[in-house]
Amino acid sequence: MSTIFFLILFPFVVALALLVLKTDAARDIIVKVASIVIAAASIYLTVQYFSSGGKYFEFESETISYLMMGIEVCLAIMIFYLGIKYKKYLASVLAAIQTPIMIWFELSIGHHIHIANNLYVDRLSIVMVLIIGIIGTLICWYSIGYMKDFQHHHHGEADRRPWFFFLMFLFLAAMFGIVVSNNLVWLYFFWEITTLCSFFLIGYTKTKEAINNSFKALIMNLFGGLGFVLAIVVLGKFYGTLELNQMLAMGMMGVSVVLPTALLAFAGITKAAQMPFNSWLLGAMVAPTPTSALLHSSTMVKAGVFLVVKLSPVLGWNIAGIMVMLVGGITFLMASFAAISQSNAKRVLAYSTVANLGLIVACGGIGTYAAVWAAIMLIIFHAVTKSLLFLCVGTAEHNIGSRDIEDMDGLFGRMPKLATFMIVGISGMFLAPLGMLISKWAAMKAFIDSGNVLLVMMIVFGSAATLFYWTKWLGKMVAIMAKRENIQQNVHKEEWLVLTSLTVLTVVICLVFPVMSSFLVVPYLETIYQSVAALALSSGNMYIMSAMLALVVLLPLLFYGKTNKRIVPIYMAGANLGDDLTFRNSMQQPTSVSLRNWYMEDYFAEKRMNIIGVIATVVVLVAAFSILLGGVL
Amino acid sequence: MNLATSIIGIAAYLILAPLAGGLLAGIDRKISARMQGRFGPPVLQPFYDFFKLLEKEPITVNKVQDFYVMCFLIFIVITGCFFFAGGDLLLIIFTLTLASIFLVVAAFSSNSPYAQIGAERELLQMMAYEPMVLIMAVGFYLVNGSFNISDIVTSPVMAIQYLPGIFLGFVFILTIKLRKSPFDLSMSHHAHQELVKGLTTEFSGKTMAVIEIAHWYENIFLLGFVYLFFANALAWSPVLAVVVCLATYFLEILIDNNYARMKWQIAINASWIVAITLGFVNLLILYFIS
């Protein structure tokens, strides 16, 4: 248990130190040492609890509860004040509703409920701890170099880096808290901390756009927080418990816990940026890139899907489950479509994140053994691959001055190493035999078995769109343009280290995923589901995938870029002037060529996709809660 | 299906598929010529063309595209091997996608205007047919309770009885997959190509020969999908299935010769509408009766 406390408190202490120490040298060292320590502690925790199927800790402390309550009140007052200062009154209103309810509840009812186990570790927690502890710290490490460049690009503005690194490490601490809390009140506390961290990180640059978007994120997540508070109240008042495992056990024994489940799932949906709340994650793109990487890959949104996956045993074919399935499915489909129309690399990544989270949420909603397997695999693969892609785009942006995919023309000539990493990342998102495709395959099978034919159609069409938007980006990356100057020597060595590690990790986890499945994911599922059905992917297919991956890695190493053929210029509409970029037209004038991707605005205009998705999901949510409340009243 | 039959299936595919595929292409050209009132080339012309391509001067536009094209061939062959070893339908579809992406990437890598437009169109075509292909796999799974081809061909039921809508939908998108008019948007053998040779503009000589042979390998297992709708445990069903395959291919030739190329909008609209109507409705009924 001391390791758990260490994982929560140590990043917090580091965060405070980074807030106080303002020199570059001190920050570099602290971030590096702390990252190594946190990653090592996560691995130590894994070793420590790996053999135990799941461990609950009897641990009680009034002081901690009161401390948390005190901090919550302070934070609520701060939100209230900021909301009024920036004229975002809705944020103030939400804070003024949520926290008093929570305090009232804790003092009147919550106080009398005995909590046996505040903390726990099971294999799902271990998976999350490893993701947060390794991917999260890699992103912090990357930020060292990135934020120097960032400050350089924004010179003249106040240096707020101590604040930035404070938030990054505080975020990690809160995330560790979320994945090991069994007491819902504690979970809620950490949940709200992540909301606030992301609020401040999104508003980091303090431009008008950043402030607006940060409040958008705050308000949407406060809505989710309100759902969380209501779930706690309902659970405490009608079920007499505040422990997550108790609630799940009740649900699995046949007691109907649909209302609190739906409320908690609603909180998960807002945090996982599902439609109709997806716009906060898109808005978060104004923040420095490591923030986006952290929010998208290992923290924030992963907290949302973690909660949904945690709830999956009590989802399935009930109102809460159907609500979650449909919201996830619709989000997957519409976000995949919307990604086609985007040329800004970060927005493509954001829509892809929203879509993949939709898939995870839908799997959680189905709640069968195979579906949850797919969901956990998606969480793992997505965390690694998406952080790689974000950080690649961040590095590209600082070196070519744009995050537009159209400006990445010929990146292979200018930054060959970075382009290769990006190719690995993009392929990892949608191609066999890499991770995301493997999990999507399992998800598809789970969808089919669930008997929900609408979901099947959503994944089928969404996958087709996914293929389109990733490959057209991939095409830009692989294009060979003659005579490009190599500019990649300007990249910080911290960035290379992190990018290389993530690229290797992307490939390695695909190679070892059958092992991960049988030692980590399957044992977790066995503790929850009595009847262990066959896995979505037979072990034969898993090994075929690993063999294919070996082939895909080996082929380029052996044969890539080797030719003894004569190299000739490409064909153009007139005589090629020799540089493959200009030709002589019929009027004898040189004409230059520029190539652009397809965006299919007539089909997949971002706004239209969002409107359809938001309306559809709002209808689902309203219908589900009307039915549930109708049943109660 | 046990290991021995799997190995025999793979070996037969590796040796016979290019011969059958080339022959099919030759017959295709002969029939097309007759439909157009011409005499047409000899049936073995595709093989002559293939060997001629091998003797062309070795040139390329960059150092990497040959690698991608080679990967295209390798993964097309692997897809076919999975198919004839009785493997998993979804595995086959995903491997086929990987192979197709290699071809698209090869075209993109040249950074040539015509090849790139061809590549984007190829992607569009993939987006158009992918849903129907996946729906087909779902249909087989719902009928047989398995994605494995070895289970499908030894099943007591004939899939077509339950999957008539999906069959028609698949034949529809097969026109795209076989690169037949009106949906031969990204590349074609015919002269009506406004994009020069589209996707394959920058390929020549041996590289072009590799693409040809890959297409022969591909066409065989594409017809294999048609075969699956009819083949089952009954002794005479394989005969029926082969006849239907040939009839389907003839139908595709007929369509090819009767339609001018259509706009890409029509290709995607039509394919998705077909997938939603024929595919989705068929699936709904399957879920309903099961």
- Amino acid A584: pLDDT: 87
Structure tokens at A121: 């570790």
Contact A471 B113 (CB under 8 A): no
User: In the predicted model, is pLDDT for residue B165 greater than 90?
Assistant: yes
Say if residues A393 and A374 touch (Cβ distance below 8 Å): no
Which tokens hold the place of A495?
């960035």
- For residues A92-121, give the mean pLDDT: 87
Residue B193's pLDDT band (cuts 50, 70, 90): low
Contacts of B77 (CB under 8 A, 6+ apart): B14, B214, B217
**Cα–Cα dist A289/A299, whole Å:** 14
Distance CA A69, CA A102 (A): 9
Using CB atoms, which residue from B90, B91, B127 is nearest to A464?
A: B127
Work out how many CB contacts closer than 8 A connect A with B. 164
- Mutate one of B6, B56, B62, B65 to test the A interface: name it (highest A CB count within 10 A): B62
Domain ranges of chain A: 2-151+158-560+576-632
**Chain B residue nearest residue A595, CA to CA:** B113
- Residue A137: Cβ within 10 Å count: 26
Taken as a whole, chain B contains a residue count of 290
Best to test chain A binding among B10, B66, B94 (most A CBs inside 10 Å): B94
- CB < 8 Å to B200, chain A: none
Residue of A nearest to B197 (CA): A571
Helix, strand, or coil here: A47?
Answer: helix
Interface contact A468-B268, CB threshold 8 A: no
Nearest-angstrom CA–CA distance, A94 and B227: 61
The ipTM is: 0.95
* Burial (CB count within 10 angstroms: exposed 0-12, middle 13-18, buried 19+), residue A56: middle
Which of A157-166, A381-390, B74-83 has the lowest average pLDDT? A157-166
H/E run at residue A121: strand A117-122
pLDDT at A533: 62
Most confident of A251-255, A299-303, B273-277: B273-277
Whether residue A480 and residue B111 make contact (CB cut-off 8 A), yes or no, is: yes
**pLDDT tier at A226, thresholds 50, 70, 90:** very high
Given a cut of 80, whether residue A539 has pLDDT beyond it is no
Q: Are A531 and A420 in contact (CB under 8 A)?
A: no
pLDDT tens digits, one per residue of A248-270 = 988 888 788 899 999 999 999 99
**Averaging pLDDT over each range in A68-82, A288-302, A455-469, A536-550, which range is the top one?**
A455-469
Tell which B residues from 239 to 258 touch A, by Cβ distance under 8 Å: none
Longest CA pairwise span in chain A (Å): 89
pLDDT digits (tens, 9 = 90+) for B196-210: 778 888 888 899 999
Nearest CA in chain A to B69: A560
Residue the block writes with tokens 């901090």: A71
Q: Give the minimum alpha-carbon distance from B125 to chain A in angstroms, rounded to a whole number.
A: 10
- Cα distances (Å, whole numbers) of residue A265 to A257, A281, B6, B37, B137: 12, 18, 47, 67, 32
Contacts of A592 in chain B (CB under 8 A): none
Residue B155 has pLDDT above 70, yes or no: yes
The answer to whether B61 contacts chain A (CB < 8 Å) is yes
Structure confidence by residue, pLDDT tens digits, A555-584: 888 888 788 888 888 888 778 887 788 888
pLDDT of residue B178: 92
Please report, rounded to a whole number, the percentage of residues in chain A having pLDDT higher than 90. Answer: 52
Which residue type, as a one-letter code, is found at position A465?
A
Per the CB < 8 A criterion, the answer to whether B279 and B138 are in contact is no
Q: What is the pLDDT of residue B79?
A: 95
Q: What is the pLDDT of residues A397-412, one digit of tens each?
A: 888 888 898 888 888 8
Q: Which residue of B has its CA nearest to A557?
A: B67
Domain ranges of chain B: 3-289
What is the spatial distance between Cα A274 and Cα A331, in angstroms, rounded to a whole number? 6
Which of A226, A241, A225 shows the shortest CA–CA distance to A178? A225
- Tell me which chain A residue has its CA closest to the CA of residue B104: A475
DSSP of chain B: --HHHHHHHHHHHHHHHHHHHHHHHHHHHHHHHHHTT-----TTHHHHHHHHHHTS--EESSSSHHHHHHHHHHHHHHHHHHHHTT-BHHHHHHHHHHHHHHHHHHHHHTT-HHHHHHHHHHHHHHHHHHHHHHHHHHHHHHHHS--BHHHHTT-SS-HHHH-HHHHHHHHHHHHHHTT-TTS--S--SSS--TTTTGGGTT--HHHHHHHHHHHHHHHHHHHHHHHHHH--SSTTHHHHHHHHHHHHHHHHHHHHHH-----HHHHHHHHHHHIIIIIIHHHHHHHHH-
Least confidently predicted of A442-446, A498-502, A546-550, B191-195:
B191-195
Alpha helix locations (H) across A21-136? Answer: 24-49, 62-85, 89-108, 123-130
Q: Are A68 and A186 in contact (CB under 8 A)?
A: yes
pLDDT in tens, A161-217: 899 999 999 999 999 999 999 999 999 999 999 999 999 999 998 899 999 999 999
Q: What is the pLDDT of residues A13-28, one digit of tens each?
A: 999 999 988 888 889 9
* Residue A332 and residue A462 in contact, taking contact as beta carbons nearer than 8 Å: yes
Helix (H, G, I), strand (E, B) or coil at A218: helix
Q: Is the pLDDT of residue A632 over 70?
A: no
Chain B contacts of A571, Cβ < 8 Å?
Answer: 112, 114, 196, 201-202
Beta pairing partners, B88: B148
Probe site for chain A from B111, B269, B278 (most A CB atoms < 10 A) = B111
Angle of helix A244-252 relative to helix A301-311, nearest 10 degrees? 40
